Amino acid sequence: MKRSNTSAATNRRALTLHHNPLLNDPEVVAFLDGGPVRIFGGLGEKLIQANEPALLLEYIAVSQCSMFHLQWLNDRFETMALPEGLLEYLLEHIDRASGLTMLTVQGAALSTACCTLMQNALASPACALTALTFEDCHFVDPHVQFPLRAPTIRTLHWHENTRLPGAVSPMDQMLSALAGWDHLESTSLIMREGLLNFATITQMLTHNPKVTHLHLMCDTAPTAPGDAAYQPQQDPALLFNLLENNQIPLVKLEIYVRDARNPAFNRHFLQHLSQCLMTNTTLESLYAPGIGMSTHADLAQFNTSLNANHSLLYLAPLEPFNDKVPPPLRRNDRQRHWFTQDFVLGAAEAFVRLIELPSELGPKVGNHLASTPLERIYCGALMALVCKSTHQGAVKLRSTGLREALLIYIRTNDRDHCLELLHALVRNKVDLLPEDKRVVVEYANSRNRQDFLPHGYAL
């Protein structure tokens, strides 16, 4: 937050709409009289309770808040419904609070009119918001359309601490609208009294390939397959299956199922998590409290998966491993430069730029780049990709690196760079090894992205 030391020229008393007794509070009176704004006082909460939207917006604008929590808590710290029209006014005039980048809304009834104003605010070129949080909010009916576009929003949190009656979950209603939130990178979804819907969560992730951080929490474990009450849409295996096949680029996953007294779900969860880690190449951080490894078989299965994984760097909790970082994670940390997306794509792009050079220039470029022992280690892989070597090991390494770059381009929907790389290979008669080429073609077909390949390349 940034504190303003200047007094506003606005006649604040002219902005009052009601005669709430809170307007006689000494802090409010000082504000109405043009006094300086205290960021960490209770002025904002008092203006919310008094339902003075124009004064509240003036407070946010003058204080130059970068974040604001729109909430009303009673004496027992329970969430109260926001006064009618307060959120709507703030959304309609939010461009006046140009410094506001993070907004939390708590206890709001989201109507069609409210969501329309929210959509207009989020789509405005003047919108400065980058993060939104909704706590204990609900839609007034299942037909209300949550905003479909939010070009500036990078972070979105939706927390439900109480279960509301209704056929459609507010979280599900919100998630179904996010396909067009093109710049969303981080999402937190918390369901305290209900069950997470992994069908809608995975659908959102599939449509939002820039989401790399996901935090999930629920109090109750869903029933496992084989139980009469099993609901497939509540099965976290839907998420792990996407990760197992590298269909979503999650880097950080926090999944907290607080009910640890469900052994059937615990086994089911561990089985799919272990399968996921065997082949996933994107996850670097995994936090899964509430899931126990109570038997030697569970721990052995999980260790096997960790040994096969080359991307995971952080794991918690560590109680099953005597509070020590497992050796595979330490190995991954040492080798992470070999497996990062930036390294693979950087090497591939260097190959495209230098592929026309005579092969004897390769060592010269390598010597220029490798000014330290550490850089010489990493440039070995780069030069193996760049040089037109016929050595079997170098050709295999080059083909593997180019394959990984192409898979990244396909997975991240980067058609231009994918075609640029493939056209350079075709033009210079430098093809992938048959097995690597087969993997690329099959992956493009599985993602329905045949147009990422040059005409006739798959033949």
Stretch 130-142: mean pLDDT, rounded? 95
How far is Cα 439 from Cα 411, in angstroms, rounded to an integer? Answer: 13
- Between 1 and 152, the more confident residue is 152
Check whether 445 has a pLDDT greater than 50.
yes
pLDDT, mean of residues 324-333: 92
**Cα four-point dihedral sign 249, 254, 256, 260:** positive
Tens digit of pLDDT for each residue in 152-178? 999 999 999 887 666 678 999 999 999
Over residues 335-382, the pLDDT tens digits come to 776 656 777 777 777 677 666 555 555 555 555 554 455 444 455 555
Quote the pLDDT of residue 133: 98
Q: 196 with 216: CB under 8 angstroms?
A: yes
Question: Which neighbouring-strand residues pair with 160?
Answer: 191
Residue 3 has a pLDDT of 44
Report the first-to-last Cα separation within the chain, whole angstroms. Answer: 59
Domain range summary for the chain, segments of one domain joined by +: 1-65, 69-337, 340-452
Q: Provide the pLDDT for residue 370.
A: 47
Share of the chain above pLDDT 70, in %: 85
The string of pLDDT tens digits covering residues 140-151 is 999 999 999 999
Which CATH superfamily groups domain 69-337?
Ribonuclease Inhibitor (3.80.10.10)
User: According to the model, what pLDDT value does residue 26 have?
Assistant: 79
- For the segment 292-321, the average pLDDT, to the nearest whole number, is 88
pTM: 0.75
Mean pLDDT, rounded, for 385-414: 77
Ramachandran class of 226: left when φ > 0, alpha when ψ lies in -120 to 50, beta otherwise? left
For the stretch 54-113, pLDDT in tens is 999 988 888 888 999 999 887 777 888 899 999 999 999 999 998 999 999 999 999 999
Cis check: omega of the bond before 317, within 30 degrees of 0: yes
Residue with the bigger pLDDT between 13 and 353: it is 13
All residues at 6 or more sequence positions from 52 whose CB lies less than 8 Å from its CB, including other chains: 15, 16, 17, 18, 20, 23
pLDDT at 222: 92
pLDDT band of residue 233 (cuts 50, 70, 90) is very high
> Contact 348/362 with Cβ under 8 angstroms?
no
